[in-house]
Amino acid sequence: MADTLFTNVRIFDGGGETPFTGDVLVSGNRIARVVRTAYGQRGAPAASAVAGATVIDGNGAFLMPGMVEAHTHFSWNDQPTLDSIQRMPPEEHILWCAQVARTYLDMGWTSCVGAATAKPRLDVVIRNAINDGTIVGPRYIAASQEITVPGGLGDTTAPHLPQHEFAFGAIVSGAEEMRRCVRMFAKYGVDQIKINLSGESITGMPSEMSQFTEQEVAVCVDEAHRWGKRVAAHARSTWSIKECVRQGIEVIYHASFTDEEALDMLEAAKFKHFVAPGLAWLINTSYHASAWGLPPEVTKKMGYHRELEAAIESMKAMRRRGIRILPGGDYGFAWTPHGTNAKDLEYFVKHVGMSTMEALLSATAWGGPMMGLNRDGHKEIGYIREGCLADILLVDGDPLSDITILQDKKRILAVMKDGEFHRAPPLRQAGGATRYGAPATVTRWAA
Ligand SMILES: [Zn+2]
């Protein structure tokens, strides 16, 4: 693998400071050197260049860590219902997942957390295929199906259809069925167990309802941890959020309905948990789903407008308390299509009151621990620092002044994962027309 030297780039290093101009040398799959320079000068090339390295003159482009998406469903197929996701035959379904994996990388998400898969082994097969180079995709945490109870979110079976008909979720009742189910997913090789701790209004079960018993949840967590698996919960209700803290469920999805006690509990354990609210789902379901028969009058009756307001208030409170909030918006439904995920960062700024800096950090600095990669103060991803894995984006423009540019594939000039370009910056002739933010030249450094 040839080394790559980015020169004359504005470096957002993930530490929260104002970006600075400099050079970044990538050697193998790691960031080998970060050097500060003055704008317009190729800084200390003799010191930082390596014989044979590809030199990319960024011409002032914004260089930042690859982003981490905390709540993805590669197997959701941009359809409007759980049934239409579930009825996709496995042969087409795995190809679909592979295509979605590429889309995330294309859009700058170099790491993704699987938040549930629609069939037992889709996520595992995709993760393995990415890791062994069979397909292209981000670093990936493979999820189980959603574990639910009879009648809970994800139980799509009907009494008039055969008993063995496959459901959207994995349905368990009682502690022993839970134990068997978690063991089954551990056997399949998932990294993360998903449990549906609350309802979801669109399925007819209000988001504030919860069905599992404490004993069932305890068995789920205990068994997952015995196998070294993490647990993530669909947790919209207040009870379900508290249950995540009480039982040590690390990843809390949605967390819409909080009260003071839930916020206090979360704050007291804030470096143990991650919260990904999935605002895109709430916003688009509330206001942008008319084309699929869900006009705002209908979604208001379902309770989504009220939930959106509650979720925004909860996220504002969590932000004030320093609880880790990450992007991930339940993309993969008809009105939240895959690839539009950077909308979450815009929503964080617009609705939660984050600065653009905080929004960028939510997608980078928190991403390493979320991926289980940054341990004991050791940083692997989410930073442009010497020694980190080389997951790097080159962006045309400044996301700190306009966070929405990260939604535009054309503005993401280059995507590097693990030291290799998934998308290399556009090649231009040396001495040709240049403009701010666009890489001007790509040359090979003479040996
Ligand atoms: Zn989800």
| Domain 4-66+382-444 bears CATH identifier 2.30.40.10 | yes
pLDDT at 302 over 50: yes
pLDDT score at 431: 46
For residue 286, the CA-to-ligand 1 centroid distance in Å is: 16
Percent of the chain with pLDDT over 90: 80
The whole-number average pLDDT for the span 253-264 is 97
Say what angle helices 175-188 and 214-226 make with each other, to 10 degrees. Answer: 30
CATH of 67-370, one of 3.20.20.140, 3.40.250.10, 3.40.50.720, 3.30.70.980: 3.20.20.140
For residue 23, the CA-to-ligand 1 centroid distance in Å is: 39
Per-residue pLDDT tens for 329-352?
Answer: 899 999 999 999 999 999 999 999
For residue 203, the CA-to-ligand 1 centroid distance in Å is: 13
pLDDT score at 241: 97
Per-residue pLDDT tens for 12-67?
Answer: 999 999 999 999 999 999 999 999 986 555 544 444 456 678 888 888 999 999 99
For residue 46, the CA-to-ligand 1 centroid distance in Å is: 49
For residue 292, the CA-to-ligand 1 centroid distance in Å is: 19
For residue 117, the CA-to-ligand 1 centroid distance in Å is: 9
What tokens were used for 142?
């493979």
| Residue 1 pLDDT class (50, 70, 90 cuts) | low
Residues with CB under 5 A from ligand 1 (ion): 115, 330
The whole-angstrom separation of Cα 345 and Cα 363 is 8
For residue 207, the CA-to-ligand 1 centroid distance in Å is: 13
Q: When comparing pLDDT for 158 and 420, which is higher?
A: 420
| Residue pointed to by tokens 């379904």 | 93
Q: Do 4-66+382-444 and 67-370 share a fold?
A: no
Q: Which residues of 271-308 are buried (b: 16+ CB within 10 A; e: fewer)?
A: eebbbbbbbbbbbbbbbebeeeebeeeebeebbbbbbb
Average pLDDT, the chain: 91
| Residue 149 pLDDT class (50, 70, 90 cuts) | very high
pLDDT at 432 over 60: no
E strands present in 37-151 = 54-57, 62-65, 67-72, 109-114, 139-141, 143-148
For residue 250, the CA-to-ligand 1 centroid distance in Å is: 15
Per-residue pLDDT tens for 246-258?
Answer: 999 999 999 999 9
For residue 253, the CA-to-ligand 1 centroid distance in Å is: 7
For residue 298, the CA-to-ligand 1 centroid distance in Å is: 21
Question: Do the Cβ atoms of 9 and 58 come closer than 8 Å?
Answer: yes
For residue 329, the CA-to-ligand 1 centroid distance in Å is: 8
For residue 314, the CA-to-ligand 1 centroid distance in Å is: 18
The whole-number average pLDDT for the span 137-148 is 98
Question: Do the Cβ atoms of 18 and 430 come closer than 8 Å?
Answer: no
Sequence-distant (6+) residues with CB within 8 A of 67 are: 108, 109, 110, 111, 327, 342, 363, 364, 367, 393, 406
DSSP 139-175: EEEPEEEEEE-TTSTT----TTS-TTPPPSSEE--SH
For residue 235, the CA-to-ligand 1 centroid distance in Å is: 10
Assign 113 to helix, strand or coil.
strand
For residue 281, the CA-to-ligand 1 centroid distance in Å is: 9
Question: Do the Cβ atoms of 314 and 255 come closer than 8 Å?
Answer: yes
pLDDT score at 319: 97
In one letter, which amino acid is 239?
A: W
pLDDT score at 204: 84
The whole-angstrom separation of Cα 304 and Cα 281 is 10
The full set of domain ranges for the chain reads 4-66+382-444, 67-370
pLDDT at 373 over 80: yes
For residue 416, the CA-to-ligand 1 centroid distance in Å is: 27
| Residue pointed to by tokens 């500060």 | 36
In one letter, which amino acid is 154?
A: G
DSSP 274-324: EEE--HHHHHHHHHSBGGGTB-HHHHHHHTHHHHHHHHHHHHHHHHHTT--
Question: Do the Cβ atoms of 10 and 21 come closer than 8 Å?
Answer: yes
For residue 152, the CA-to-ligand 1 centroid distance in Å is: 15
Question: Do the Cβ atoms of 231 and 192 come closer than 8 Å?
Answer: yes
The whole-angstrom separation of Cα 442 and Cα 429 is 8
pLDDT score at 371: 95
Per-residue pLDDT tens for 157-216?
Answer: 888 877 666 789 999 999 999 999 999 999 999 999 999 999 998 888 889 889 999 999
The whole-angstrom separation of Cα 315 and Cα 328 is 14
Task: Read off the pTM.
Answer: 0.93
> Which of 317, 254, 252 minimizes the C-alpha distance to 281?
254
For residue 435, the CA-to-ligand 1 centroid distance in Å is: 40
> Which of 135, 134, 146, 122 minimizes the C-alpha distance to 74?
122
